[in-house]
Amino acid sequence: MEVVERNGKTIALFDTSTRIEQASDMLDLMATTWYQGHCVGMVMEKDSLPKDFFTLSSGVAGEILQKFSNYQFKIAIVGDFSSYGSKSLQSFIYECNKGNSVVFVPTVEEGLDRLTR
């Protein structure tokens, strides 16, 4: 975990060596980032998430992202999402990107910008 401060906000950066398999893993990671770095959000590569995350009908995305809403924590998920053909997933990403709590972005830099506005 790398901690970055920008615009008075502290954000944790994770590379693909960080793996999330279930919602409890994400909750543990959120707690760690808060207690170790006083972070208000995180930037994570899409490959760190479970494969089922991007199949909305599995419920994995909802279960994991609900943690961010419950604890008022932010996340930027970094990657190329154009290969996912699901219209519902593309709509979900579009709607998330209207806000600043959960965003799907192409680069780490854009993720940092969105979370520290």
How do residues 18-64 score in pLDDT, each as one tens digit?
Answer: 999 999 999 999 999 999 999 999 999 999 999 899 999 999 999 99
The stretch 98-107 carries a mean pLDDT of 96
Q: Tell me: pLDDT of 113 over 90.
A: yes
Q: Tell me: pLDDT of 14 over 90.
A: yes
The pLDDT of residue 78 is 98
Q: Tell me: pLDDT of 12 over 90.
A: yes
How many domains are there within the chain?
1
Residue 109, domain extent: 2-115
Mean pLDDT of the chain: 95
User: What CATH code is carried by the domain that includes residue 42?
Assistant: 3.30.750
Q: How is residue 78 written in tokens?
A: 């970094």
The pLDDT of residue 16 is 87
CA dist 72 and 34 (Å) reads 12
Q: Could you tell me which residues come within 8 angstroms of residue 86 by beta carbon, excluding any fewer than 6 positions away?
A: 54, 55, 56
Whether pTM exceeds 0.75: yes
